[in-house]
């Protein structure tokens, strides 16, 4: 899973988003963002910002050679999993010094745990630290905007998010020295959530989001065994991106159970019979769609009702 984790090895937050110092201006205006300052453990210049998810890309660099605080914009190249949502995230980092931007350029990508940049004190900072602000979604326009207090805040498709809603703390990576009372969710607690096995009680639609405004991409037959990783209202998430209505799931184990596989093709044709007429409804199936194995015939797999796919594209 592409978890978003806290990006520093030592968490030593010197200013939360919610106190009465400079960050108040960020979250009392509109729109809001929720920055934290973290000095990485000490007043020394010794902490790095590490790539906190599978991959991030530099979208913008601002302030080099000027009096303004140097600012770096990062965006995840894929949706990440946070304690509160699954989406793209964008992060603003302020204060690294000019010299530490050497070798960094827009478009550069970083993999999880790779060092991105060192803390600094550029732009009237009181000491070496990172000012970190997270937004849900991709960056919009110039990546920042002035709020109603005239303060520059991160600008993304879905707006600023609080650090505890954005980052898990991976205890194997980050040691907490001071969290300023912010309650973070530990990654190992999340990882223990290996899901709950449940069974489909009625042929039901699978969607790429937790409501009916998302198109039905497939359907699963009664007695399909699924794993539920997350609930959202009356919707259950059964894979990274697939959701079904919770009303048609039960923990009661049926007599017949259909196991599932995932599609591997980009657009897998669904047919009325083995090698038969190609169906249009809920088809073709996108990659990584969960399908039930209802029956097989030669190289063909029956996935629900009279719907068949070529078994070569299932794993």
Binding residues for Zn ion (CB under 5 A) = 37, 131
Q: Residue 131 or residue 307: which is nearer to Zn ion going by CB? A: 131
**Contact criterion met (CB below 8 Å) for 69 and 115:** no
Q: Residue 18 or residue 55: which is nearer to Zn ion going by CB? A: 18
Q: Residue 24 or residue 261: which is nearer to Zn ion going by CB? A: 24
DSSP string, 103-114: T--TT-EEETT-
Q: Residue 71 or residue 289: which is nearer to Zn ion going by CB? A: 71
Smallest gap from Cβ 34 to Zn ion, in A, equals 11
Inter-CA distances, 66 with 119, 121, 142, Å: 18, 13, 18
Q: Residue 131 or residue 302: which is nearer to Zn ion going by CB? A: 131
Smallest gap from Cβ 244 to Zn ion, in A, equals 42
b/e map of 242-281 (b: 16 or more CB within 10 Å)? bbbbbebbeeeeeeeebebbebebeebebbeebeeeebee
**Contact criterion met (CB below 8 Å) for 307 and 277:** no
Smallest gap from Cβ 16 to Zn ion, in A, equals 10
| Rounded Cα gap, residues 165 and 129, in angstroms | 21
Smallest gap from Cβ 182 to Zn ion, in A, equals 14
Smallest gap from Cβ 36 to Zn ion, in A, equals 7
| Rounded Cα gap, residues 253 and 100, in angstroms | 58
Q: Residue 182 or residue 226: which is nearer to Zn ion going by CB? A: 182
DSSP string, 132-161: EEEEESSEEEEEEEE-TTS-EEEEESS-EE
Q: Residue 63 or residue 210: which is nearer to Zn ion going by CB? A: 63
Smallest gap from Cβ 23 to Zn ion, in A, equals 6
User: Which of 65, 88, 51 minimizes the C-alpha distance to 166?
Assistant: 88
Question: SS3 for 184?
Answer: coil
**Contact criterion met (CB below 8 Å) for 88 and 118:** no
Smallest gap from Cβ 15 to Zn ion, in A, equals 6
Q: Residue 131 or residue 237: which is nearer to Zn ion going by CB? A: 131
Report the run of H or E that residue 20 belongs to, with start and end: none
Q: Describe the chain by its helix, strand, coil percentages, rounded to 5.
A: 5, 45, 50
First to last CA, the chain: 19
The residue number with the shortest CB distance to Zn ion is 131
Question: SS3 for 176?
Answer: strand
Smallest gap from Cβ 129 to Zn ion, in A, equals 7
């Amino acid at each position: 899973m592409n978890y978003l984790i806290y990006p520093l090895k030592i968490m030593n937050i010197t200013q939360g988003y919610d106190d009465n110092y400079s960050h108040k201006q960020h979250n009392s205006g509109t729109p809001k963002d929720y920055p934290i300052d973290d000095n990485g453990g000490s007043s020394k210049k010794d902490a790095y910002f590490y790539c906190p998810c599978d991959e991030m890309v530099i979208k913008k660099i601002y302030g080099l050679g000027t009096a303004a605080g140097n600012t770096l914009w990062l965006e995840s190249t894929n949706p990440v999993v946070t304690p509160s949502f699954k989406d793209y995230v964008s992060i603003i980092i302020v204060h690294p010094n000019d010299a530490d931007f050497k070798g960094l350029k827009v478009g550069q990508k970083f993999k999880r745990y790779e060092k991105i940049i060192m803390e600094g004190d550029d732009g009237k900072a009181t000491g070496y630290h990172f000012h970190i602000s997270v937004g849900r979604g991709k960056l919009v326009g110039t990546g920042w905007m002035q709020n109603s207090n005239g303060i520059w805040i991160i600008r993304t498709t879905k707006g600023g998010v609080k650090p505890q809603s954005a980052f898990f703390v991976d205890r194997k990576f980050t040691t907490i020295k001071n969290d300023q009372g912010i309650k973070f969710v530990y990654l190992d607690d999340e990882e223990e959530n290996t899901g709950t096995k449940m069974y489909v009680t009625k042929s039901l639609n699978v969607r790429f989001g937790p409501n009916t405004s998302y198109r039905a991409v497939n359907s699963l037959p009664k007695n399909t065994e699924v794993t539920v990783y997350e609930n959202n209202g009356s919707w259950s998430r059964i894979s990274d991106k697939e959701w079904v209505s919770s009303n048609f799931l039960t923990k009661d184990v049926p007599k017949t159970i259909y196991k599932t596989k995932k599609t591997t093709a980009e657009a897998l044709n669904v047919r009325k019979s083995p090698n038969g007429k190609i169906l249009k409804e809920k088809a073709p199936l996108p990659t990584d769609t969960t399908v039930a194995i209802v029956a097989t015939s030669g190289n063909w797999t029956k996935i629900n009702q009279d719907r068949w796919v070529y078994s070569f594209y299932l794993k």
